[in-house]
C-alpha cells in the first residue's frame, strides 16, 4: 500500500519547545517537500529535498530545520525561533528531476497547535 504518512495527526506543544514532525514515503520518490498552510490560505513552501543528504530552503524556512538521511524520510523540526508555528503542515513528494511531471503527492498533514 504505497503513499505518504505523516505523524502525528494532531500535535500540541508549549511555547519555546522544539517539535519534530514525521514524514515517510514508500513511493520511491526522489524529491520531498514541506509546506505550511494557514487557515483560508494557500500552501507555502518551507523546505525541499531533491536527493538524499541534500535540501534547500523554500520561501519561509526561518525557524524550521530538516534532514534527509534516507530517501524515504524527511522530518521537519519546528524550532522555538518560529514566531507563529500554529498551522497545518503538509509533506509531499514526487519523482523529482528524474520524473516527467511535477505532480505532487501529499500526506494527510499534521495540525500543530502551540499553547
Contact set with another protein (CB under 8 A): 30-31, 33, 35, 40-45, 48, 50, 56, 58-59, 90, 94-97, 101-109
Nearest approach in angstroms of CB 62 to another protein is 16
Report the residue number, 19 or 89, with the smaller CB distance to another protein. Answer: 89
Between CA 11 and CA 20, with CA 15 as vertex, the angle to 5 degrees is 45
Task: Indicate the residue among 80 and 111 with the shorter CB distance to another protein.
Answer: 111
Residue with cell 518551507: 46
Nearer to another protein, 75 or 80 (CB): 75
- The nearest distance, CB 20 to another protein, in angstroms, is 19
Q: Which three three-digit cell numbers place residue 39?
A: 487557515
Q: How far is CA 35 from CA 1, 45, in A?
A: 24, 4
Q: Which C-beta is closer to another protein: that of 17 or that of 59?
A: 59
Q: Give me the least distance between CB of 69 and another protein, in Å please.
A: 19
Q: What is the dihedral of CA 25, 20, 67, 104, to 10 degrees?
A: 40
Using an 8 Å Cβ cutoff, are 45 and 33 in contact?
yes
Amino acid at each position: 500500500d504505497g503513499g505518504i504518512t505523516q505523524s502525528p495527526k494532531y500535535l500540541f506543544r508549549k511555547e519555546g519547545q522544539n517539535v519534530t514532525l514525521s514524514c515517510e514515503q514508500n513511493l520511491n520518490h526522489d524529491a520531498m517537500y514541506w509546506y505550511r498552510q494557514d487557515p483560508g490560505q494557500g500552501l507555502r513552501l518551507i523546505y525541499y529535498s531533491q536527493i538524499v543528504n541534500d535540501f534547500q530552503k523554500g520561501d519561509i524556512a526561518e525557524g524550521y530545520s530538516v534532514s534527509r538521511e534516507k530517501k524515504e524520510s524527511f522530518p521537519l523540526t519546528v524550532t522555538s525561533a518560529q514566531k507563529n508555528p500554529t498551522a497545518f503542515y503538509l509533506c509531499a513528494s514526487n519523482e523529482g528531476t528524474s520524473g516527467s511531471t511535477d505532480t505532487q503527492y501529499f500526506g494527510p498533514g499534521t495540525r500543530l497547535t502551540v499553547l
